[in-house]
Amino acid sequence: MRLVEEVAVTLTSEEREVVRKRLGREPNIIEWAVIEALWSEHCSYKSSRNILKMLPTEGVQVLVGPGFDAGLIDIGDGFVLSVHIESHNHPSAIDPYGGAATGIGGVVRDILSVGTRPVALLDSLRFGEIESSSHSRWLLRNVVKGIADYGNCIGVPTIAGELEFDQSFERNCLVDVMCIGAGRREEVVLPMATRPGCLVVLAGNTTGRDGILGASFASQSLDSDEEGKRSAVQIPDPFIEKLLIDALTEMFEQRLISAVKDLGGGGLATALSELAYKGGVGVDVDLSMVHRRETDMTPVEVLVSESQERMLLLVEGQKLERVSRMLEKYELQFSIIGRTVEERFVRLRWEGTLIAELPLSVLGDAPSVARASRRPEYLDTLRNTPPPREPEDLNKVFLNLLASPNISSKSWVYEQYDYEVGVRTVVKPGDADAAIIKLPNGKLAAVKLDGDSKKCYIDPYRGAMWIVSENFRNLASSGAKPCAIVDHQQFGDPGKPDVYWCFKECVRGVADYCMAVGVPVVGGKVSFYNEDLVSGRAIKPSPVIGGIGLLSDEDMVTTLSLKRSGDYIVVLGVTTGELGGSEYYEYIHRICGGEVPLVDPLSDWQLIEAVLNLRRMGVLRAAHDVSKGGLAVSLAEMAVRGRIGLTAELSKLPVRGRVLRRDGLLFSEGGSRIVVEVDRERFREAEMALRRHSVPFAVIGETGGNEISIKMNGEQVINLTVGEVEERWHYSLERLMEGYS
Amino acid sequence: MDSKSLLEGSKLWVVEARIQLKSSLKDPEGETILRDLLHKRGVSGVEEVRTAKLLRFKVRSHSREDAESLIRKVCDELRLYNPVSHTCSVRVGEEV
């Protein structure tokens, strides 16, 4: 049988030895399958967990940090917020529609696994150059459709996201989804088996051969078209997911379940083992009891199937009848497959016969894999890239930059999403730097995902710090104080010292930043092996940060559009001239290199507190962080969204370092900066507050008119009408995707 | 040669491309129709429902084979289906 031969192929000979030693005998084929699933990189973090220890994970609001299916934050009044991030990169690369959709399904079930209900989704997507690659356009189109359809069917709004295009993602797109959940503190259950005598119930979808042989499938050529081939493709069924959400929510309210666990990578093998060893209680399960879609499945196939929309429930005996009635009410199929037991073993049976027996002590803690790490030599070359000559016509450069897929409005994407279902969405996508949702206790939270692989490629440490900085400035610009993050670290093969070094540096960047400002990391994910099988080239290092901030009240909500003519435009923070990884270098000059901006977490935090204070005082009308495209793009976005023009004088900007050229002042993404519109009549108050917060700032211009006019020492550099800018910025991505010019 | 002279003597064919999930894959829509509609309304005897998408092209060409290969090519190259999860069968119907 082909499947049996392929079991345990990914374990190294050292790992096999450890298993034999811990067990004191040779495991049988089914036991190998369990260990292989559990000790995979995906489930065990064996190459990454020593590095992830650098991240600060504790805080007063943190109820549950990394290590479970989702992190939990106490938001007061007896309510909690849950958060998790997942990727579905490889499935999306071969089946963008189904891969992205099932990715959402998975992260939503992680939120359910801690006893909370999903309330919002965010997505972070990375593809190749869509201007030149029809393949990447096809991927983007179908990924967005997969997310939109699934999110719509399950009634969870997709409220924010982030999108980056770079050649390195041509064959390995990245599809990350973050989910926010909410619930009552007393309804929280954790995915672990803590007491013997509970029944193990498998609810939801039927178990089929989906996802089996995923790894070997991936290395086959994608153009083979055999009917009936066993397939790794998982077909999403959002209707069952919706029923699971509703049924579980009702069961949480009635306290009917002791634990819930999503079936993800490794299927039942992983879910059963994790429930058992996390809680320290054994399980005894008969796999033949599982409700199946195909009749001729082998025990191993049932064990490792990755069929979607399934969850394991642990139920006390006296509650079983109520749970059964509830599942029947929602027309969810289920099977009672076993029970938790005193003995600390995972026991698997088939029609009553014991087919596998593994002590919990063998299962937990896959041995850590020591990985070699070496700073890549290409970094020196990249860093020493000489600056390009400054173009004469910066007006033209600016228009071209606005049309870059990385900069132009992402409305083509988010207008396909149902972002308002559930009526929790307070500001619409694109209106503010972060999305804002209403929580069940009436409070507001801001959420945002950010990434910047171009910067992380040139300087992983600085790049990762810059992403956290941008994320926090986004939250603050929307009126929220950052309170926790999740991180998703995505790289190539960790066996390559260059790749592993980049991974370490990215985690160190996130850790140093969060440690300095005291914001905990409550969860995350690592995805390795994002490499092109043909060329062996890895993706650019891609940490993605999902930040959560809380708003003290509704008046704090801040949008980015200019509100009124005659107000002051104030830039908070110092402008620094590093252009490495900037869209200006990459898109306009096709330069990959230069110096990546270095951010200072402590001055960022002063800036964040200052912005929040200005808003609280009521003197701040709009706020927008300076990120991709630099100051010029930030100003343009504020003007376009508000349909009000502005004037700005670049020489007034507080700068650090050498005298900056005009292109640096316009397009640098350096420094930690936020642009704000300040009420002209109350500028004195704002000025005094900013001094108190020791935040460098300057009034660089005024709002009004219908032109965006930017000067340097009185000389015109950029002069365009708001309409001309809008035409470029708002429609470029749509034009590209819809194929009209 | 302009396109008019190229197509001289050609005929109009109806070509149908049927795109459906591979038989090994789950078909949630078909299952829902079977379970929530047929079975609930007491329809017996139906054991499976599979969904498909049918594209109907009117193609002007010299031969049945040309019409078929053109549509085959269009479906494959313009990604009207995903070979990983779908099958696509093309057949030429009547001359219009």
Long-range contacts of A21-30 (CB under 8 A, 24+ apart): A22/A359, A22/A361, A22/A362, A23/A358, A23/A359, A23/A362, A27/A358, A28/A355, A28/A356, A29/A4, A29/A300, A30/A299, A30/A300, A30/A303, A30/A348, A30/A355, A30/A356
pLDDT at residue A221 greater than cutoff 60:
no
Check residues A396 and A295 and name the one with the higher pLDDT.
Answer: A396
d(CA A87, CA A449): 13
pLDDT at residue A5 greater than cutoff 70:
no
Amino acid at B91: R
Substitution target in A231, A294, A305 with the highest count of B β-carbons within 10 Å is A231
pLDDT at res. A44: 87
Which band of pLDDT confidence, cut at 50, 70 and 90, is reported for residue A279?
very high
Q: What pairing do the DSSP bridges indicate for beta strands A79-87 and A71-76?
A: antiparallel
Substitution target in B19, B22, B23, B26 with the highest count of A β-carbons within 10 Å is B26
pLDDT at residue A559 greater than cutoff 90:
yes
Q: What is the largest CA-CA distance in chain A?
A: 86
Element (H, E) at A712: strand A707-712
Element (H, E) at A179: strand A174-184
Q: Cβ of A240 and B27 within 8 Å? A: no
pLDDT at res. A230: 46
- Residues from chain B contacting residue A209 (CB–CB below 8 Å): 24
pLDDT at residue A220 greater than cutoff 80:
no
Q: Is A378 in the B-facing interface, judged by CB distances under 8 Å?
A: no
d(CA B74, CA A654): 57
Which band of pLDDT confidence, cut at 50, 70 and 90, is reported for residue A648?
very high
d(CA A294, CA A206): 9
pLDDT at res. A428: 83
Q: Which of A97, A235, A240 sits opposite B25 (nearest CB)?
A: A235
Residue A737 has a CB neighbour count (10 Å cut-off) of: 16
Distance set, CA A677 to CA A538, A607, A694, A724, B69 (Å): 42, 15, 19, 22, 61
Check residues A126 and B36 and name the one with the higher pLDDT.
Answer: A126
Phi–psi pair at A77, nearest 5 degrees = 55, 25
Q: Which of A223, A228, A239 sits opposite B32 (nearest CB)?
A: A239
Query: How close are the terminal C-alpha atoms of chain A, in Å?
Result: 55
Core vs surface per residue A328-345: b (16+ CB within 10 A) or e: eebebbbbbbbbbbeeeb
pLDDT at residue A438 greater than cutoff 70:
yes
- Residues from chain A contacting residue B31 (CB–CB below 8 Å): 237
Q: Cβ of B83 and A225 within 8 Å? A: yes
Phi–psi pair at B36, nearest 5 degrees = -85, -15
Q: Which residue has the tokens 């003519």?
A: A565
Q: Cβ of B28 and A94 within 8 Å? A: no
pLDDT at residue B82 greater than cutoff 90:
no
Q: Kindly report the CA angle at A613 between A609 and A614, in degrees rounded to 5?
A: 120
- Residues from chain A contacting residue B27 (CB–CB below 8 Å): 235
DSSP A354-376: EEEEEEHHHHS-PPPPP------
pLDDT at res. A215: 39
Q: Cβ of B28 and A97 within 8 Å? A: no
Query: How close are the terminal C-alpha atoms of chain B, in Å?
Result: 26
Q: Which of A206, A233, A239 sits opposite B85 (nearest CB)?
A: A233
Q: Which residues contact A404 (CB under 8 A, 6 or more apart)?
A: A583, A587, A629, A732
Residue of A42, A488, A589, A693 marked catalytic: A42
d(CA A591, CA A584): 9
Domain map (residue ranges) of chain A: 558-741
CATH code of B9-95, in short, is 3.30.1280.10
Which band of pLDDT confidence, cut at 50, 70 and 90, is reported for residue A363?
confident
Structure tokens at A67: 């290590």
d(CA A164, CA A730): 16
d(CA A384, CA A673): 25
Distance set, CA A657 to CA A351, A459, A574, A670, A694 (Å): 74, 20, 10, 12, 19
What mean pLDDT comes out for the span A181-191?
Answer: 95
Which band of pLDDT confidence, cut at 50, 70 and 90, is reported for residue A481?
very high
- Residues from chain A contacting residue B79 (CB–CB below 8 Å): 138
**Residues of B engaging A, defined by a Cβ cutoff of 8 Å:** 21-28, 31-32, 36, 79, 82-85, 87
Alpha carbon of residue A442 to chain centroid: 25
Q: Number of Cβ pairs closer than 8 Å across A and B?
A: 57
Strands (DSSP E) contained in chain B are: 11-21, 52-61, 86-95
- SS3 of A24, please? coil
Closest CA to A87 of A52, A136, A122: A122
Q: Which of B26, B82, B83 sits opposite A293 (nearest CB)?
A: B26
Distance from CA of B36 to the nearest CA of A (A): 10
pLDDT digits (tens, 9 = 90+) for A21-50: 999 999 999 999 899 888 888 888 899 999
Residue A41 has a CB neighbour count (10 Å cut-off) of: 18
Q: Which residues contact A402 (CB under 8 A, 6 or more apart)?
A: A408, A629, A633, A636, A725, A728, A729, A732
Is A667 in contact with A404 (CB distance < 8 Å)? no
Which band of pLDDT confidence, cut at 50, 70 and 90, is reported for residue A214?
very low
Classify residue A124 as exposed, middle or buried by CB count within 10 Å of its CB (0-12, 13-18, 19+). buried
Q: Is A241 in the B-facing interface, judged by CB distances under 8 Å?
A: no
Catalytic annotation present for A42:
yes
Substitution target in B20, B25, B75 with the highest count of A β-carbons within 10 Å is B25
What does the CA dihedral B84, B86, B91, B94 come to, rounded to 10 degrees? -140
Distance from CA of B57 to the nearest CA of A (A): 22
d(CA B92, CA A725): 50
Closest CA to A381 of A83, A593, A635: A593
Q: Is A1 in the B-facing interface, judged by CB distances under 8 Å?
A: no
Task: Look over chain B and give the mean of its residue pLDDT values, rounded to a whole number.
Answer: 88
d(CA A704, CA A569): 11
Identity of the highest mean pLDDT range in A25-39, A177-191, A647-661, B9-23: A177-191
Element (H, E) at A214: helix A214-218
Q: Cβ of B84 and A94 within 8 Å? A: yes
Domain map (residue ranges) of chain B: 9-95
Task: Look over chain A and give the mean of its residue pLDDT values, rounded to a whole number.
Answer: 92
Q: Is A328 in the B-facing interface, judged by CB distances under 8 Å?
A: no
Q: Is A222 in the B-facing interface, judged by CB distances under 8 Å?
A: yes
pLDDT digits (tens, 9 = 90+) for A144-154: 999 999 999 99
- Segment among A180-184, A230-234, A641-645, A666-670 with least mean pLDDT: A230-234
pLDDT at res. A533: 77
Element (H, E) at A736: helix A722-738
Q: Which of A97, A231, A331 sits opposite B24 (nearest CB)?
A: A231
Which band of pLDDT confidence, cut at 50, 70 and 90, is reported for residue A226?
very low
pLDDT at res. A424: 75
Q: Cβ of A228 and B23 within 8 Å? A: yes
Check residues A502 and A211 and name the one with the higher pLDDT.
Answer: A502
Q: Which of A223, A227, A235 sits opposite B23 (nearest CB)?
A: A227
What mean pLDDT comes out for the span B9-20?
Answer: 92
Q: Kindly report the CA angle at A431 between A429 and A437, in degrees rounded to 5?
A: 60
Q: Cβ of B83 and A97 within 8 Å? A: no
Q: Cβ of B26 and A233 within 8 Å? A: no
pLDDT at res. A42: 83
Substitution target in A225, A243, A309 with the highest count of B β-carbons within 10 Å is A225
Which residue in chain A has the smallest CA separation from B26?
A235
CATH (one of 1.20.58.110, 3.90.650.10, 3.30.70.930, 1.20.120.1200) for A558-741 = 3.90.650.10
Distance set, CA A362 to CA A199, A344, A359, A630 (Å): 23, 10, 6, 53
- SS3 of A199, please? strand
Is A90 in contact with A97 (CB distance < 8 Å)? no
pLDDT at residue A223 greater than cutoff 90:
no
Distance from CA of B32 to the nearest CA of A (A): 9
pLDDT at res. A229: 43
- ipTM field: 0.75
Amino acid at A261: K
- Residues from chain A contacting residue B83 (CB–CB below 8 Å): 222-225
Which residue in chain A has the smallest CA separation from B32?
A239
pLDDT at res. A681: 96
Substitution target in A141, A226, A237 with the highest count of B β-carbons within 10 Å is A237
Catalytic annotation present for A488:
no
d(CA B61, CA B7): 7
Distance from CA of A221 to the nearest CA of B (A): 10
Which residue in chain B has the smallest CA separation from A237?
B28
Which residue in chain A has the smallest CA separation from B24?
A228
pLDDT at residue A705 greater than cutoff 80:
yes
Q: Is A91 in the B-facing interface, judged by CB distances under 8 Å?
A: no
Phi–psi pair at A502, nearest 5 degrees = -60, -40
pLDDT at residue A6 greater than cutoff 70:
no
d(CA A702, CA A705): 10
DSSP assignment letter at A236: P
Closest CA to A725 of A711, A736, A710, A738: A710
pLDDT digits (tens, 9 = 90+) for A125-171: 999 999 999 999 999 999 999 999 999 999 999 999 999 999 999 99
- Segment among A215-229, A517-531, A571-585 with least mean pLDDT: A215-229
pLDDT at residue A262 greater than cutoff 70:
yes
- Residues from chain A contacting residue B21 (CB–CB below 8 Å): 235
What mean pLDDT comes out for the span A318-329?
Answer: 97
d(CA A139, CA A644): 36
Q: Which of B31, B84, B87 sits opposite A233 (nearest CB)?
A: B84
pLDDT digits (tens, 9 = 90+) for B58-81: 999 999 999 999 999 999 988 899
Q: Cβ of B26 and A235 within 8 Å? A: yes
Q: Cβ of B24 and A209 within 8 Å? A: yes
What mean pLDDT comes out for the span A606-619?
Answer: 97
Alpha carbon of residue A457 to chain centroid: 18
DSSP assignment letter at B24: T
